[in-house]
């Protein structure tokens, strides 16, 4: 995507230095900044603190972090990048790094997918690890663009679309998942309107989705999270598109907390509910959604809010009753029966068709 006339990926790695650069999503939409992770620990920090976030971007970050670990381990032992003849200490370092990376965001399937791929490549050589991480990032873009092509057919002139959280290009290396069909439809000259849930407690919809839509010149409005049922009851929504962080083999889908509520209401009013994802998000090892681990994040995200003051300085203020505590599950699971279809790089498929695509 272009920002101020310049094309950016959400996250990228310098093969020479081993540094991973990423758009600082915590600074948006108030300022556009680049965070540079010098090593895999820095990249883990970026994932945990949501400097980078979104299913696809997390996957790319995890792949890059694993590659960084191999680069660090190789430099420490001064071994050739193509040798693959690692010492016991190096192998222990790589294994510990993998565990640390996989512990950053336990619900996100793409994170585990990328870490495993790069780890297996890196065991052969450091060069292979870096190459695999770069390939995964490129594939992330290709899948997202195809998701956009496939999903754009759902969008007609005058369509009114509701989305939750942020599954745009910031959530992937480029294009995104849920917003990719919108961007392709815009390129095709279609005119439509988007309602973006604010998406508490981190307000990814109000801060990130709205910023993306504004950047792309797509008409939109931010709505409170609890306004979706009202809009659907008034016939103001034609269909819903969201992303996902992990999908079980039966189609049960984990996504940002609040997604399940939107799916229930959409079902009640006969409104189509689509989930846009690459196949790498599907976890065929899980039979249903009850087995998906749900991340619980700090209560501070619920109790406080951050933003710039009149001088542009970022401040954090408490907005809840002093002394009260909060529960902050980051995701919920939408049962497959509430989902109209999955918009994937392989086409739009029904939940009961997922198993047809399983391969060892």
CA distance 271 to 264: 10
Tell me the pLDDT tens digit for each residue of 33-69. Answer: 999 999 999 999 999 999 999 999 999 999 999 999 9
Q: Is the pLDDT of residue 150 over 70?
A: yes
Place 80 in a pLDDT band, splitting at 50, 70 and 90. Answer: very low
For residues 100 and 103, give the distance between their C-alpha atoms in angstroms, rounded to a whole number.
5
Cα separation, 52 vs 75, whole angstroms: 26
Which of 245, 252, 283, 332 is catalytic? The answer is 245
**Could you tell me where the beta strands, DSSP code E, fall in 245-313?**
246-248, 253-256, 272-276, 282-283, 304-308
pLDDT for 280-307, tens place per residue?
Answer: 999 999 999 999 999 999 999 999 999 9
Beta bridge partners of 275: 242, 342
**CA 49 to CA 57: how far, in whole Å?**
13
Tell me the mean pLDDT in the region 331-336: 98
pLDDT at 219: 98
- Look up 245 and say whether it is catalytic: yes
Structural domains in the chain, CATH included, are 2-144 (1.20.120.420), 150-357 (3.40.50.10470)
> What percentage of the chain reaches a pLDDT higher than 90?
91
The pLDDT assigned to 311 comes to 87
| Whether residue 82 has pLDDT greater than 70 | no
**pLDDT, tens digit, 9 for 90 and up, residues 98-137:** 999 999 999 999 999 999 999 999 999 999 999 999 999 9
Section 186-201 average pLDDT: 98
Top-confidence residue, 360 or 322: 322
pLDDT at 76: 63
pLDDT in tens, 234-243: 999 999 999 9
pLDDT tens string 227-279: 999 999 999 999 999 999 999 999 999 999 999 999 999 999 999 999 999 99
């Amino acid at each position: 995507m272009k920002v101020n006339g310049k094309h950016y990926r959400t996250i990228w790695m310098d093969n020479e230095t081993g540094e991973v650069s990423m758009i600082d999503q915590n600074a948006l939409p108030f300022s556009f900044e680049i965070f540079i992770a010098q090593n895999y620990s820095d990249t883990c920090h970026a994932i945990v603190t949501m400097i980078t976030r979104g299913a696809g971007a997390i996957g790319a970050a995890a792949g890059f972090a694993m590659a960084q670990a191999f680069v660090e381990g190789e430099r420490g032992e001064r071994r050739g990048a193509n040798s693959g003849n690692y010492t016991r200490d190096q192998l222990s370092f790589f294994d510990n790094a993998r565990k640390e990376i996989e512990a950053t965001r336990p619900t996100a399937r793409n994170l585990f997918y990328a870490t495993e791929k790069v780890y297996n490549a890196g065991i052969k050589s450091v060069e292979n690890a870096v190459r695999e991480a770069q390939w995964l990032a490129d594939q992330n873009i290709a899948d997202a663009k195809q998701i956009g092509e496939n999903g754009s057919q759902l969008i007609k002139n005058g369509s009114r679309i509701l989305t939750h959280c942020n599954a745009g290009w910031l959530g992937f290396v480029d294009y995104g998942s849920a917003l990719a069909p919108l961007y392709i439809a815009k390129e095709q000259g279609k005119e439509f309107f988007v309602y973006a849930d604010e998406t508490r407690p981190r307000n990814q919809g109000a801060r990130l989705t709205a910023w993306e839509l504004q950047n792309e010149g797509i008409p939109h409005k931010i709505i409170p999270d609890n306004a979706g049922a009202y809009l659907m009851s008034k016939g103001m929504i034609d269909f819903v598109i969201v992303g996902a962080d992990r999908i079980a083999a039966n189609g049960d889908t984990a996504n940002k907390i609040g997604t399940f509520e939107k799916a229930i209401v959409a079902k009640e009013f006969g409104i189509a509910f689509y989930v846009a994802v690459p196949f790498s998000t599907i976890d065929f090892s899980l039979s249903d959604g009850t087995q998906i681990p749900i991340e619980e994040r700090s209560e501070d995200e619920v109790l406080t809010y951050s933003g710039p003051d009149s001088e542009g300085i970022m401040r954090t203020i408490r907005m809840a009753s002093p002394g009260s505590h909060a529960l902050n599950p980051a995701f919920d699971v939408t049962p497959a029966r509430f989902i109209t279809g999955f918009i994937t790089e392989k086409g739009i498929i029904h939940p009961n068709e997922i198993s047809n695509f399983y391969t060892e």
